[in-house]
Structure 1
Amino acid sequence: MPVSNTDIVERIARVIAGRIVSSNADGSDPSAGDVVDRVWPDYRPDALSILRTLREPDEAMAAVGDTAVWERMVEAALAREDAPAL
C-alpha cells in the first residue's frame, strides 16, 4: 500500500477546504488550488474532529481488519498534533 508523504490532518483539512471553495464541490472557484493551499490550515480543527471520530472503527471496518492496529495508527496521528513544535 502506498504511504502518503503528507500528514493525515493536512490531507483531511485540504479536502474540507476544497469542498468549501471549489466549484467541483460546494464552492464557486473553478480553479481553487491556490486558495486551498492558502486556507487549508483554517480547517485543521475540523480535520482533527474527524480524525478523533475515526479512532473507533465501525462494525464493517472491524470485521476486515485489526482494530488495535487501527486505533494505534489514528492515535499516532493525533499524538503528532499534540507534540510541541520544533
Structure 2
Amino acid sequence: MPWFVKIETGMVDKRIFDQYVPAHTAYVKELIDKGHKAKTGYWAEKGGGMMLFEAASMDEAKAIVAADPLVANGCVNYQLHEWKIVVE
C-alpha cells in the first residue's frame, strides 16, 4: 500500500487543542489495528506535527484524515501528500 503524510499546523489555543489529543491518539491506535501502520507526533519546536500512514489510495487517505478528531474539530490546518519511498 502507498504511504501518505499529513503535515499539520495548529489553528486553536493549546487548551482547546489538548481537549482532542486523547481522541486523536485513540483514532491513530484504531488505524494501526486496521493495518494502516500509522505513526503520529509533533515537532520539537512548538506549532505542528505529522501523521504517517498507509492507505490504498489518495481517496482513502483523504477519508482517513477527514475523520481524524484534530481535523474534524478544526484544530489543525494540514497538507496531505503521497510519500514515494526511495530506499527502505
User: Which structure is larger by alpha-carbon Rg, 1 or 2?
Assistant: 1
Whose helix proportion is higher, 1 or 2? 1
Asked whether the two chains share a fold, i.e. TM above 0.5, the reply is: no
Larger proportion of strand: 2
**Which TM class, normalised by the smaller chain length?**
under 0.3
Scaled by the length of structure 1, the TM-score of the pair is 0.26
Give the structure, 1 or 2, with the largest relative contact order (CA under 8 Å, sep 6 or more).
2
